[in-house]
Amino acid sequence: MNWNNKISKVAVIAYTKMTAQFYASQLKKLFKENISLEVYSVEDSNLTSIVCDLIIASTYSIYEIVKTYVSNYDDIVIADITLTKDSLEKLRQIPTGTNAMLVNTTLEMAVETIALIYNSGITHINMFPVYPTISTIPPYDLAITPGEASLAPPSVNNIIDIGNRVLSMRTIIDIAVRLNLDDMLKNEEFQSCFGLLAQSDVGLERLWEQVSVLEKKLDLIMQIFDGGILLLNYGGNISFINKSAEKMLSIDKKLIIGAKLKDVLSEFYDSLVASLEIAQKDKIITFNSRLLSLSFYPLFDGAEALGTIILIREFTDMEKEQHKIRKQIIAKGHIAKYSFNDIAGKSKQMEMLKETAKKMALSDSSILICGESGTGKELFAQSIHNSSNRRNEPFIAINCASIPENLLESELFGYSEGAFTGAKKGGKLGYFEQAHKGTLFLDEISEMDLHLQSRLLRVLQEKEVIRIGGDSVINIDVRIISATNRNLKALIKQGKFRQDLYYRLNVLSINIPPLRQRKDDIPLLIEQLKERFHSTFKITKEAMELIKNCMWEGNVRELGNFVERLTCLDVDEVDIDIVRQFIDENEYFKPTLKDEENKLFLSLINQKHTNLKNYYSILKLLEINKKSGVKLGRRSISELLQKEGLIISPQEVRTILKNLESLNMVNILLGRSGTEITEFGIKACELLGEKYNSI
Highest-confidence range of 214-228, 262-276, 506-520, by mean pLDDT?
A: 506-520
Q: How far apart are CA 525 and CA 379, in angstroms?
A: 14
What are residue 440's DSSP bridge partners?
Answer: 396, 480
Instruction: Out of 496, 511, 526, pick the residue that ends a domain.
Output: 511
Instruction: Name residues whose C-beta falls within 8 Å of residue 5's C-beta, 6 or more positions apart in sequence.
Output: none
Instruction: Please report the DSSP string for 471-509 in residue order.
Output: ---EE---EEEEEESS-HHHHHHTTSS-HHHHHHH-SEE
Pair 137, 118 in one domain:
yes
End-to-end, the C-alpha distance of the chain in Å comes to 55
Side chain identity at residue 254, one-letter code? K
Side chain identity at residue 143, one-letter code? A
Show the CA angle centred on residue 160, arms to residues 155 and 166, nearest 5°: 130
For 236, the 3-state DSSP assignment is coil
Res 446: pLDDT: 92
Determine contact, residues 442/448, Cβ cutoff 8 Å: yes
For 465, the 3-state DSSP assignment is strand
Instruction: Name residues whose C-beta falls within 8 Å of residue 151's C-beta, 6 or more positions apart in sequence.
Output: 103, 104, 105, 131, 132, 145
The more confidently predicted of residues 466 and 227 is 466
Show the CA angle centred on residue 414, arms to residues 413 and 418, nearest 5°: 135
Q: Alpha helices of 149-242 — where are they, by DSSP H?
A: 169-178, 188-196, 204-224
The CATH number of residue 681's host domain is: 1.10.10.10
Instruction: Name residues whose C-beta falls within 8 Å of residue 73's C-beta, 6 or more positions apart in sequence.
Output: 67
| Cβ atoms within 10 Å of 657's Cβ, excluding its own | 22
What are residue 129's DSSP bridge partners?
Answer: 102
pLDDT of 352 above 50: yes
Instruction: Name residues whose C-beta falls within 8 Å of residue 90's C-beta, 6 or more positions apart in sequence.
Output: 160, 162
Q: Does any domain span residue 323?
A: no
Q: What mean pLDDT comes out for the span 143-164?
A: 89
- What letter would DSSP give residue 418? T
Res 179: pLDDT: 83
Pair 347, 437 in one domain:
yes
The CATH number of residue 57's host domain is: 3.40.50
pLDDT band at 272 (very low <50, low <70, confident <90, very high): low
Q: Does any domain span residue 523?
A: yes
What are residue 300's DSSP bridge partners?
Answer: 305
Would you call 138 exposed, middle or buried from its count of C-beta atoms within 10 A (0-12, 13-18, 19+)? middle
- What letter would DSSP give residue 589? S
| Cβ atoms within 10 Å of 510's Cβ, excluding its own | 20
Q: What mean pLDDT comes out for the span 617-629?
A: 82
Determine contact, residues 144/129, Cβ cutoff 8 Å: no
Range of the domain at 186: 8-81+168-205
- What letter would DSSP give residue 372? -
Q: Which of 423, 455, 1 lies closest to 186, judged by CA?
A: 1
Instruction: Out of 588, 621, 641, pick the residue that ends a domain.
Output: 588
Pair 293, 272 in one domain:
yes
Pair 346, 380 in one domain:
yes
Pair 345, 445 in one domain:
yes
Res 406: pLDDT: 74
pLDDT band at 497 (very low <50, low <70, confident <90, very high): very high
Res 237: pLDDT: 83
Determine contact, residues 396/439, Cβ cutoff 8 Å: yes
Q: Does any domain span residue 274?
A: yes
Determine contact, residues 504/463, Cβ cutoff 8 Å: no
Instruction: Name residues whose C-beta falls within 8 Å of residue 577's C-beta, 6 or more positions apart in sequence.
Output: none
pLDDT in tens, 19-38: 888 889 989 988 888 899 99
Pair 580, 623 in one domain:
no
Q: Which of 61, 221, 87, 107 lies closest to 164, judged by CA?
A: 87
Res 441: pLDDT: 94
Q: How far apart are CA 306 and CA 297, in angstroms?
A: 11
Pair 390, 466 in one domain:
yes
Q: Does any domain span residue 213?
A: no
Torsion angles phi and psi, residue 112, rounded to 5: -60, -40
3-state secondary structure 643-677: HCCCCCCHHHHHHHHHHHHHCCCEEECCCCCCEEE
In Å, how far are 86, 136, 302, 360, 663 from 195, measured between CA atoms? 11, 40, 11, 21, 43
Determine contact, residues 120/88, Cβ cutoff 8 Å: yes
| Cβ atoms within 10 Å of 651's Cβ, excluding its own | 10
- What letter would DSSP give residue 424? P
Q: How far apart are CA 311 and CA 296, in angstroms?
A: 6
The CATH number of residue 554's host domain is: 1.10.8.60
The more confidently predicted of residues 423 and 353 is 353
pLDDT in tens, 367-395: 999 988 888 999 999 999 999 988 888 89
H or E element in which residue 436 lies: none
Q: How many structural domains is the chain composed of?
A: 6
Pair 196, 183 in one domain:
yes
pLDDT of 156 above 70: yes
Q: What mean pLDDT comes out for the span 440-445?
A: 93
For 329, the 3-state DSSP assignment is helix
Q: How far apart are CA 256 and CA 649, in angstroms?
A: 73
Res 100: pLDDT: 93
Q: Percentage of the chain with pLDDT > 70?
A: 85
Q: Does any domain span residue 329?
A: no
pLDDT of 638 above 50: yes
Q: Does any domain span residue 224?
A: no
Q: Does any domain span residue 333?
A: no
The CATH number of residue 441's host domain is: 3.40.50.300
Pair 77, 111 in one domain:
no
pLDDT in tens, 316-343: 544 454 555 455 544 445 678 888 988 8
What is the number of alpha carbons within 13 Å of residue 459 lying toward its C-beta?
25
Side chain identity at residue 478, one-letter code? V
Q: What mean pLDDT comes out for the span 550-556?
A: 85
Would you call 439 exposed, middle or buried from its count of C-beta atoms within 10 A (0-12, 13-18, 19+)? buried
pLDDT in tens, 647-695: 888 888 888 898 888 888 888 887 777 888 888 888 888 877 765 543 3
Q: Does any domain span residue 268?
A: yes
- What letter would DSSP give residue 79? P
Res 278: pLDDT: 67
What is the number of alpha carbons within 13 Å of residue 398 lying toward its C-beta?
26
Q: What mean pLDDT comes out for the span 581-607?
A: 67
Pair 581, 461 in one domain:
no
Q: How far apart are CA 130 and CA 152, in angstroms?
A: 8
The more confidently predicted of residues 8 and 284 is 8
Pair 489, 414 in one domain:
yes
Pair 524, 664 in one domain:
no
| Cβ atoms within 10 Å of 340's Cβ, excluding its own | 18
Q: Alpha helices of 439-575 — where are they, by DSSP H?
A: 450-462, 488-493, 499-505, 522-532, 541-548, 555-569
Instruction: Out of 136, 164, 192, pick the residue that ends a domain.
Output: 164
Looking only at the bridges linking them, the beta strands covering 479-484 and 367-370 are parallel
